Amino acid sequence: MKRRKFIKNILSFAAAMPLLSFKNLTMGNIKKLRILITTDVHGAIFPFDFINNSEEISSLAQVHTYAESLKKQGHEVILCDNGDILQGQPVVYYSNFEKTQSQHLLSRVMNYMKYDTGTVGNHDIEAGHDVYDKFTKELNFPWLAANAIDKKTKEPYFQPYKIIEKDGAKIAILGLITPAIPKWLPEKIWEGMEFEDMIESAKKWVTIIHEKEKPDLVVGTFHAGIDYTYGNQTAESYKNENATKLIAQQVEGFDIIIGGHDHQLYKEWIANPKGKKVLVLDPKNSAQYLAEIKVEIDLDSEVDFYKKKISGELVKVSDIKVDKDFMKEFSADFEEVKQYVSKEIGTFSKSISTRDAFFGNCEFIDLVQQIQLELTGADISFASPLSYNAEIRQGKVYIRDMFKLYKFENLLYTMKLSGKEIKDYLEFSYSKWFKTMKSKKDSMLLFVENADGSKRLEGQFFNFSSAAGIDYEVDITKNIGQRVHIKQMSDGKPFDEKKFYKVAVNSYRGNGGGNHLTDGAGIAKEELASRIITSTEKDLRYYIIKWIEEKQIIEPQSFGNWKVVPERFWKKAKYKDYDILFNQQRF
């Protein structure tokens, strides 16, 4: 009796669920795909570091090997990039700003590799309209950014999505860019565009894609990070810089989402509002990893649960051999850039390092301060260590060394700031840099602990901004907001908090990057543009090169214009903290 009842229940269940018919459960028309994604390549085209003149272990030359091997095995391959590819290694800087009349090397490389789509990153926009508009036209595939809106047409400035058909299967790729660009870059660089909130844009476009295209698979390639709490943001923050995970959690309609921008390795299945699991991957930066997604689609199935089988992994690119045909194809370009970065521009009388910048006045930073003050004629200069552990050695220096001295492409601004705003700017900076020490046993730097027990800086080192042109002390035993005491201008004149000064600062900071001028100095974001007195036409690195070529002999010196007090606390803490950061004693 029990057996008969069980069979009867099964038959009743089957009759009540017509969608789960035998036809729907069959796996007869299966399409197998491999989707490969790179992100934050930052010019790592070749297995060579043009900055340090040394071989590298990962590059697009190896990604090409992997993609071609899959094709030779008979796999249907879709190759996508997720942004920030036009900035980083000198090999892209050369095409961006030096050899501008020819087709961009990277567009030739990506066309050669047969990329299917790319997504625009914030550092791609940083190159300026002349570069990215020309680059877009040279590509044989669309560069995507659905939420970068043309102010005139109110339509996306770049193509929003791409439909790819592989053996009867229809795949939709939607691209989005971090909307925080106006916080970092001068408007002239992104003029004519506005950037929509990623979550809102994702909801709008995924609906359009499903209704209009009826795809079998939807992939989001988003140039934004995973951690939506970064920079004191929350899940509710409008135009969140890193909304990739939020979209996976809040927006229905995606099967796979790729993140980037944050240079982190990430893999997780995340439930969307209806409980469906979405695969989220982030393959780090500099072509160190490649996201590989294996997809099986049964075109005969009408039930989504049975229709798609998805798995993903992060492939270590250093384990892949370099493609010899690739290197041969672009060998002339390789040699041309190598010759460019090997151009001698001057001589340094001593070695300088950014390591010292974490603990006090530093020759490396003060060289940048000196150049900024001389170029602008400003009263005061702000600068930060843009590299964590960069060194320029004594002796001849070359163009390659300038990518250590100044890592990013920034314009140089002269801005109008009051003495009170300058002090508050510095208070904000040191609040993200130094902790309040209660005893000589404490650390001076703000650290957080990693899962393995090791420590890392809590703040971003490129936001550790110090000043030149004023003499001041930072008392690390005092509470935040009460640490900075400005004694005088460095030329001996009084410093007046009510007076307005001309201040040299890079465009990232001048547009609100790091929040020093907004949260720190208390200037409204909308007011920052009106504070800019002058701006360079080209990036600061260009002018640094010209400055060094003119001087020829560079004798880096510490201004000694600021120090950490009390000295007994500083002296004790710097030994210990230096060892934590760099695993060796320095002082």
Instruction: Count Cβ atoms below 10 Å from residue 10 Cβ, excluding itself.
Output: 10
Could you tell me the CATH superfamily of domain 344-582?
Answer: 5'-Nucleotidase, C-terminal domain (3.90.780.10)
pLDDT tens profile 456-495: 899 889 999 999 999 999 999 999 999 999 999 999 999 9
Kindly write down the DSSP assignment for every residue of 384-438, as one continuous string.
Answer: --SSSS-EE-SEEEEGGGHHHHS-S---EEEEEEEHHHHHHHHHHHHHTTB---S
Burial of 109 (0-12, 13-18, 19+ CB in 10 A): buried
Asked if residue 3 has pLDDT above 90, the reply is: no
Total residues found in the chain within this entry: 587
Q: Is the preceding peptide bond at 566 cis, omega within 30 degrees of 0?
A: yes
Q: Who contacts 466 (Cβ-Cβ below 8 Å, separation ≥6)?
A: 357, 361, 365, 382, 383, 384, 426, 429, 562
pLDDT tens profile 351-408: 999 999 999 999 999 999 999 999 999 999 999 999 989 999 999 999 999 999 999 9
Instruction: Please choose, from the candidates 236, 255, 244, 233, the residue with its C-alpha nearest in 3D space to the C-alpha of residue 202.
Output: 244
With bands split at pLDDT 50, 70 and 90, how would you rate the model's confidence at 585? low
Instruction: Give, rounded to a whole angstrom, the gap between the first and last alpha carbons of the chain.
Output: 87
Domain range annotation of the chain = 22-337, 344-582
Amino acid at site 558: S
Residue 539: what pLDDT?
92
For the chain, the C-alpha Rg in angstroms (whole number) is: 27
- What gap in Å lies between CA 66 and CA 79, rounded to an integer? 11
Asked if residue 26 has pLDDT above 70, the reply is: no
**What average pLDDT does the chain have?**
93
In CATH, what is the architecture of 22-337?
4-Layer Sandwich (3.60)
Cβ-contact 471, 380 below 8 angstroms: no
Helix (H, G, I), strand (E, B) or coil at 261: coil
Q: What's the token pair of residue 484? A: 């900075």
* Angle, alpha carbons 376-381-384 (nearest 5°): 120
- What gap in Å lies between CA 220 and CA 201, rounded to an integer? 12
Asked if residue 16 has pLDDT above 70, the reply is: no
Q: Do domains 22-337 and 344-582 have the same CATH topology?
A: no
Residue 307: what pLDDT?
83
With bands split at pLDDT 50, 70 and 90, how would you rate the model's confidence at 167? confident
Phi-psi region of 492 (alpha: psi -120 to 50; beta: other; left: phi over 0): left
pLDDT tens profile 486-532: 999 999 999 999 999 999 999 999 999 999 999 999 999 999 999 99
Mean pLDDT of 148-168: 96
pLDDT tens profile 308-366: 999 999 999 999 999 999 999 999 999 999 999 999 999 999 999 999 999 999 999 99
Q: What's the token pair of residue 460? A: 């971003």
Kindly write down the DSSP assignment for every residue of 317-332, as one continuous string.
Answer: GGGSPPPHHHHHHTHH
